[in-house]
Amino acid sequence: MKRSELLFSVFQVPVDFIMIVLAAMSAFAIRNFPQIITLKPKLYEFSFHDYMQIVFFVAPLFILVYAIEGLYKIKVTRKYWQEIFKVFVASSLVLVIIIVAIFLQRTWFSCRFIILAGWLLVVVYVSVARFILHEIQKYLLRHTSAY
């Protein structure tokens, strides 16, 4: 195993976490800008602070499911499109868990738009971040003999 493989595998977890949080923040922001998207009137008043508490509760669940799906395995021969498919599957599994939790816990926030937009943005943000990390890793492998 090369140092770069280990380094990029370790770096992947915090990058994914940051992308999950950014996706959640983006979904909240999009929902709260009526100029961006026209939706039905809000049926709830939910503060950003309360929303972020839930996000920081749910984000580790994404990381756990990603780990179970094998997204943090240390391999050189990872195929990018297979990895993105796994991100999609793992994120969809978390979406189902969130929907079930909302159904069972009626006091939780339940804006369908934010939940679905957050899921879509998580898939996109994590996929883009992983693509960028793959490109950086390839560049370093080609241009540095230390890696």
Average pLDDT, the chain: 82
pTM of the model: 0.83
Dihedral of the alpha carbons of 57, 59, 64, 65, in degrees to the nearest 10? 120
Spatial distance between the Cα atoms of 66 and 122, rounded to a whole number of angstroms: 12
pLDDT single digits (tens) 46-100: 788 988 998 999 999 999 999 999 898 876 556 788 889 999 999 999 999 988 8
For the cut 90, the answer to whether the pLDDT of residue 123 exceeds it is yes
Longest Cα–Cα distance in the chain: 58
Of 133, 141, 139, nearest to 15 (Cα)? 133
pLDDT single digits (tens) 4-19: 666 777 889 999 999 9
